[in-house]
Structure 1
Amino acid sequence: MRKILIALQLIFIGLATPLHAQEIPANTFKIELLANANAILREEITEINILSVDKMRVKNRRTVTVLNENGDYHVQAYTFHKDNIKILDQQARVYNSSGEEIKKFKKRHFEDRSYLSSSEMYGDSRISYMNYTPVGYPYTVVFEEEYETNSTVFRTSWIPLDTYNLSIEKARYIFKNPQAIPFRFEERNMDGLEVEREIMATGLEYNISNVPAFTSEKHSPDKSEFQPRLLVALDEFSLVGVEGSGNNWKDFGKWQYEHLLEHDAQLPQATIEKIEKLTANAESDREKAKIIYQYVQDNTRYISVQLGIGGWIPMPAAKVDELGYGDCKALTNYTRVLLETQNIPSYYTVVYGGDRKHLDPEFPSMQGNHVILNIPQEDQDIWLECTSQSIPFDFLGRFTDDRYVLKLTPEGGELVKTPAYGAKHNLTRTEAEIRLDEESFTADITRHKSGIAYDKIYGIQIIKERNQKEYYKELWGYLGHFEIQNLSFSNDRDSVKFLEKLEIKGKNFSRKAGNRLLLPVNFLRPTVYSLPRDETRKMPIEITRGESYADTFRYYFPQGFEIESIPEKVHLENEFGSLFIQTSLIEAEDGPVLEVERKLIINQGLWEPEKYEAYYKFLNQIKSYNNQKAVILTAG
């Protein structure tokens, strides 16, 4: 730490000379900004200038002092662009730990390349970036960019602290709206921070300073729940030249429905006739929808397309039918159009997929990164994930479950929630029969999984057998050395249940002590959450999905073995979950059988940081009880 402080002082001294007086503020920052920081945002000035409904100019000047190699990411000396985003200027300067300029980049020095993800087949997204490898730490980068775009529906909000382990000395946001286009803004998570605000009819200015870095803590909420943000949106806007308006979810959804969706789609007659034939004997709309969904899964595959307005408007259904592929928008729209041929209404639905669960329900704006399909029903709606060739009908899984989504209807947008899978649905039920002697054991294992437990495992059936076996050996590494003799799966997509059957053989599962065996009675242990010891917890504890486990283990012994002692019954229950374990001795013709029943429930919930120690102890109790042992007398 002392070396870092000395080096930082040199930066400040070097950058305080007249030559660089305007480059980086010479005043030192508060020592608290070093805590948990890999880099410090010395100063950032973001200026948004709304020139018209369909023209916006953005300037950004970002000065970052990088403290170590983990802080390189925070430099962010790059600009994403595409056909509708024109880069006007880019430049950067790099300073060493003595405050001396060691590298200068002008616009022509920035490298430019296509920016496609592994799932994208084609697109016009590009990145222009500074290619620089640090030669020592700390170092400082001043990066400036300026660009214009005809999309004013995006890039207007401000997230100065967008990641972990970055602190802020100063950050400024300037929103200029000289045309006085109606706009809205809302603050998020700014209470208790040093914030200066100036609010005008034609713009905003926000200054934030001395924000310490926050660090990732296990099982804490998504960072969007606590990072300071300023949400800003125009009520009249443009998306790649397509103008729109809306300041509530209904109007915003109606604009998307009318301008971004395909209407009066024309499918080939041969495809319509094929669907008619496939659904001819179906007795309900649900059955027809299931047949059509299977048809889409059998005849299409997912490939992302991000090209101009095509990044937001689905590929026409007829084109998907011809090519056999599409992105989430295209495949969802294609399924919707196929359902229309059978007079089944369905709704294109915008969602944030992944760990960030929710659209912000209080701030209508262009949000989301994925689309799914909603089919209304009298009792319970049907939800379809149209990009997967293997996920069951009417099952969403972890990517889009339990969150606010925007359903696009002819009447407008409707904010609804997708199904949540509770602990009783997310069930792993295990049965195992174990035969053992002094040196080895064999076990027949059957596991039934449903809900999110199904979602986590069903993909195993399509990987190579070698990788399947490696998965179980890593999962059950506490069994010591064992070999998988037989392995099979059964995937019941209709009931969303997955069955695993294994026969394994291993050695030294129990520990020998003279003529006794110390036998762990909980043969397979549930993969429960683990937490590190943390006496300075800052964030709440969040368990996003509950889980439940129901296990039965039966142990069989050779002739002459005796069961000397068994563990006492366990019953543990609190706000975090519950654990029940009962070990019983059953007399059978071939000798005594040890039977273990275990039921574990982990509750979904959000708890304040002060509950961390109690939660930590709860998980440790589970681990301790999972290590219970019986004492077995051997024949010798």
Structure 2
Amino acid sequence: MSLFFSKLQRVVLVAGVAFPSFALAGAGTPQYPVAALPSSLRENAHAVVRRQDESLAVKSVGRTVETTRRAVTVLDEAGSQWATEVVYYDKLNTITYFRGTVYDEAGRVVRQLRTADIHDISLSDGFSLATDARGRTADLRQPSYPYTVEFEYEVVSDNPLFYSTWRPQPAEQLAVEEATFRVLTPTSLPLRFQERHLPSDGALVRSKQGALDVFQWQVRNLAAIEDEADSPPVSELAPMVLTAPTEFEVEGYHGRLSSWQDLSKWTYDLNAGRDVLPPAIQAQMAALGRGEKDERARIRKVYEYLQANTRYISIQLGIGGWQTFPASSVAANGYGDCKALTNYCKALLQAAGVTSYAALVRAGSTAQDIRTDFPSSQFNHVVLCVPLTSTRPDTVWLECTDQTNPFGYMSSFTGNRHALLLLPQGGRLVATPRYGAAENRRERRADVHFDLQGNATASIRTRHTGLEFDAIAGLTGLAPSEQKKRLGDRLPLPSFTITKFSLTPDESGAVPVLTENLTLAVPALAPPNGKRVFITPNLLCRTSAPRATVGERRTDIWLSHAYTYTDTVRLHIPAGFRPEQLPAPVKLATPFGDYLSQVQVMPDGNILYIRRLLMPNTRFSRTDYPAYLDFRRRVSAADKAQVVLVKTEA
């Protein structure tokens, strides 16, 4: 898809200046002995941050300096990622220094990072035509545990649109002994910040240092966050301080950032006047507009033209992370990044008589929504918003970087979140399409025929819609042999052969549909046991319950994916057998979800199994976990319930 801004939004690269200059310890001065670690910080931890000092120094409206000093004790192999580091840089960001040291368990120096140990790498994503994003990497992992690694680095940035986000505890099973974050900024450039989940002893301390305002936060003795089932992401649990400028300048482009309207206007002005099409294409789109009276159909034709005549290639060079190539360039070359393709589609639609607006969004199938209450640059992608005017109020959203994306579908990549409209006067946040349990459906119908030996043949038809479509849509572009393999990999059966299959997409509705048809041969699915046969009618959609929490649950229940699964299975039983026992019907209606399963004998003697599970997108208090666990266990038990057949007497 797309990376709209430079990769130096720096989730990993955090800051620090203005702390005393620390010289790395010599061999005679033990540092960070593991024996000094409190046992409370080792519990549930793979690594412990011993000391982390980060600082952001705002030098001017167009320059910042970030420094980091981080010492982490690695307790076991699962924590060894903390013994590696990547420091990012590009045209707008320069690394001043990068140092590192390894200490043994007693705190004695094992080795220091040498220049030859630091590797300079390109951070090309594999589809960028041009990018200046690079990184310097270091790997100080050791073969035996525990040990401590310390890294220090400084980055001078001429890209002050992005200030630091302080995450002293960025991952589960990472404890923190001490971490400090300091910001120094001229009084004339006020700091904007937002605090989240800070402990009571982590309150902000403000002071003055000459003409500078100084902000400092500190946390101590943070126990590791345990990995609990269905818990929120760490960003919703651990301490965090977000910072942002009120005023900035990037390569001569000045802007303010006190509101979403400010950011929208700066981005709009940066790209204004770059939507002029070549006369021939403009005339072609105008003719298309005159020939199609239905507005939605007109938009679809323009979108299909875009998909057929362009391809996505990222361009990330300096200000090119924000400023689009002209529409004429995309028309001539047939490619562009997300900004350029969105701008081009906007121009095509304008020529066809349709008004549309670019919108910034944070894209990613697992990305969290932006912090809507903290205006700042939190975006990495651009999409197109097309309000309809000739029909009932509605909006079409277009993903302009994908040649196969269904018309009007945002998918898990950009759906269910907020986007910032780019308008001449400054825009506002709007919601992208929402995909809930009503849209995200997997509907399956199966006919299963058994013979006297318990072998089975099954005909299965499954409709995947909404975000359930996303999980399988990529198969349509593969070779049949690969399709067959991947379809087989998805089936939870011990032994089977796919004898026939097909995939049929339907993109005519509000959400796309992919229908999967399978014919299977399943040997020994339900072999006789004496004169009885035991069949689990839920062949393909059994769920398991999450694990019970040891001790008191610490985190809320976070159900982030809404869906509806329905299964209708007809069991064709062999001659000479009759049902002896059927599972009791189960119906559960809870705040955590709804479940129904029932089994009945049909007039023809065959057995019909119906199952329905609806799970919402919601959040509950940790005190509700026992009730939630009970719901999931009852669903799991019902999914395993068996039909018992018995051989009839001759």
Normalised TM-score (structure 1)? 0.91
- Among candidates 158, 162, 165, match of residue 157 of structure 1: 165
Question: Conserved in 1, the CA contact under 8 Å of 2:558 and 2:618?
Answer: yes
Segment drifting more, 460-469 vs 341-350: 460-469
Aligned partner of 2:615 in structure 1 is 602
Question: Conserved in 1, the CA contact under 8 Å of 2:33 and 2:105?
Answer: no
Say whether 1:20 aligns with 2:20.
no
Alignment of 1:420-435 (within 5 A): 420-435=434-449
Partners of 1:414 and 1:227 lie apart in 2 by 29
* SS of corresponding position for 2:449: strand
Alignment of 1:90-239 (within 5 A): 90-105=98-113, 110-178=118-186, 180-195=188-203, 197-200=205-208, 202-239=213-250
Normalised TM-score (structure 2)? 0.89
Question: Conserved in 1, the CA contact under 8 Å of 2:84 and 2:139?
Answer: no
Could you tell me how far 1:490 is from its partner in structure 2?
1.2
Partners of 2:154 and 2:165 lie apart in 1 by 16
- Among candidates 425, 428, 440, match of residue 414 of structure 1: 428
- Among candidates 528, 550, 567, match of residue 535 of structure 1: 550
Could you tell me how far 1:133 is from its partner in structure 2?
4.1
Say whether 1:469 aligns with 2:484.
yes
Say whether 1:326 aligns with 2:339.
no
Label 1:522 to 1:90 Cα distance change in 2 as closer, same or farther (>3 A): closer
Segment drifting more, 99-108 vs 536-545: 99-108
- Among candidates 461, 466, 475, match of residue 460 of structure 1: 475
Label 1:198 to 1:182 Cα distance change in 2 as closer, same or farther (>3 A): closer
* SS of corresponding position for 2:49: strand
Partners of 1:107 and 1:233 lie apart in 2 by 34
Segment drifting more, 155-164 vs 55-64: 155-164
Segment drifting more, 384-393 vs 134-143: 134-143
Aligned partner of 1:505 in structure 2 is 521
Count matched residues.
Answer: 615
Say whether 1:388 aligns with 2:402.
yes
Question: Conserved in 2, the CA contact under 8 Å of 1:152 and 1:234?
Answer: yes
Partners of 1:334 and 1:529 lie apart in 2 by 48
Alignment of 1:529-568 (within 5 A): 530-536=545-551, 537-568=553-584
Could you tell me how far 1:623 is from its partner in structure 2?
1.9
Could you tell me how far 1:199 is from its partner in structure 2?
4.7
Give deviations 1:55-106, integer Å, cap 9, x for gaps. Answer: 1122222222222222222245332111111222222222222322222235
Could you tell me how far 1:280 is from its partner in structure 2?
4.2
Could you tell me how far 1:370 is from its partner in structure 2?
1.8
Letter in 2 for 1:450: T
Alignment of 1:22-41 (within 5 A): 28-41=36-49
* SS of corresponding position for 2:277: coil
Aligned partner of 2:643 in structure 1 is 630
* SS of corresponding position for 1:386: coil
Say whether 1:74 aligns with 2:82.
yes
Give deviations 1:181-227, integer Å, cap 9, x for gaps. Answer: 12212211104454462355722122221112213333222222122
* SS of corresponding position for 1:509: coil
- Among candidates 245, 255, 273, match of residue 263 of structure 1: 273
Alignment of 1:46-61 (within 5 A): 46-61=54-69
Could you tell me how far 1:363 is from its partner in structure 2?
1.0
Partners of 1:52 and 1:68 lie apart in 2 by 43
Say whether 1:335 aligns with 2:345.
yes
Partners of 1:36 and 1:120 lie apart in 2 by 40
Segment drifting more, 467-476 vs 37-46: 467-476
Aligned partner of 2:590 in structure 1 is 574
Give deviations 1:302-350, integer Å, cap 9, x for gaps. Answer: 2322221112222222222222222222222221121121232212111
Give deviations 1:379-431, integer Å, cap 9, x for gaps. Answer: 22111122222221111111222112211111212011112112122122111
Question: Conserved in 1, the CA contact under 8 Å of 2:160 and 2:249?
Answer: yes
Segment drifting more, 24-33 vs 244-253: 24-33
Aligned partner of 2:315 in structure 1 is 305
Question: Conserved in 1, the CA contact under 8 Å of 2:177 and 2:222?
Answer: yes
Question: Conserved in 2, the CA contact under 8 Å of 1:357 and 1:400?
Answer: no
Could you tell me how far 1:364 is from its partner in structure 2?
0.7
Say whether 1:291 aligns with 2:291.
no
Could you tell me how far 1:31 is from its partner in structure 2?
2.3
Could you tell me how far 1:179 is from its partner in structure 2?
5.3
Letter in 1 for 2:177: E
Label 1:251 to 1:140 Cα distance change in 2 as closer, same or farther (>3 A): same
Partners of 2:113 and 2:306 lie apart in 1 by 50
Label 1:24 to 1:367 Cα distance change in 2 as closer, same or farther (>3 A): same
Question: Conserved in 1, the CA contact under 8 Å of 2:275 and 2:344?
Answer: no
Partners of 2:128 and 2:169 lie apart in 1 by 29
Partners of 2:518 and 2:548 lie apart in 1 by 36
Question: Conserved in 2, the CA contact under 8 Å of 1:88 and 1:148?
Answer: yes
Give deviations 1:558-577, integer Å, cap 9, x for gaps. Answer: 44332333222222221111
Label 1:135 to 1:484 Cα distance change in 2 as closer, same or farther (>3 A): closer
Aligned partner of 1:5 in structure 2 is none
Could you tell me how far 1:451 is from its partner in structure 2?
1.6
Question: Conserved in 2, the CA contact under 8 Å of 1:446 and 1:501?
Answer: yes
Give deviations 1:504-561, integer Å, cap 9, x for gaps. Answer: 11111124121221122223325x4752232343221111222112222222234433
Question: Conserved in 1, the CA contact under 8 Å of 2:285 and 2:349?
Answer: no
Letter in 2 for 1:534: T
Aligned partner of 1:485 in structure 2 is 499
Label 1:398 to 1:464 Cα distance change in 2 as closer, same or farther (>3 A): same
* SS of corresponding position for 1:467: helix
* SS of corresponding position for 2:436: coil
* SS of corresponding position for 2:166: coil
- Among candidates 238, 242, 259, match of residue 253 of structure 2: 242
Unaligned runs of 5+ in 1: 1-14
* SS of corresponding position for 1:267: coil
Partners of 2:162 and 2:205 lie apart in 1 by 22
Aligned partner of 1:616 in structure 2 is 629
Label 1:303 to 1:218 Cα distance change in 2 as closer, same or farther (>3 A): farther
Unaligned runs of 5+ in 2: 1-23
Question: Conserved in 1, the CA contact under 8 Å of 2:34 and 2:105?
Answer: no
Aligned partner of 1:370 in structure 2 is 381
Partners of 1:418 and 1:330 lie apart in 2 by 20
Label 1:180 to 1:320 Cα distance change in 2 as closer, same or farther (>3 A): same
Partners of 2:116 and 2:323 lie apart in 1 by 34
Label 1:582 to 1:320 Cα distance change in 2 as closer, same or farther (>3 A): same
Partners of 2:384 and 2:193 lie apart in 1 by 30
Say whether 1:494 aligns with 2:508.
yes
Question: Conserved in 1, the CA contact under 8 Å of 2:255 and 2:262?
Answer: no
Label 1:514 to 1:291 Cα distance change in 2 as closer, same or farther (>3 A): same
Question: Conserved in 2, the CA contact under 8 Å of 1:194 and 1:208?
Answer: yes
Question: Conserved in 2, the CA contact under 8 Å of 1:50 and 1:179?
Answer: no
Partners of 1:319 and 1:204 lie apart in 2 by 46
Partners of 2:125 and 2:569 lie apart in 1 by 46
Question: Conserved in 2, the CA contact under 8 Å of 1:353 and 1:370?
Answer: yes
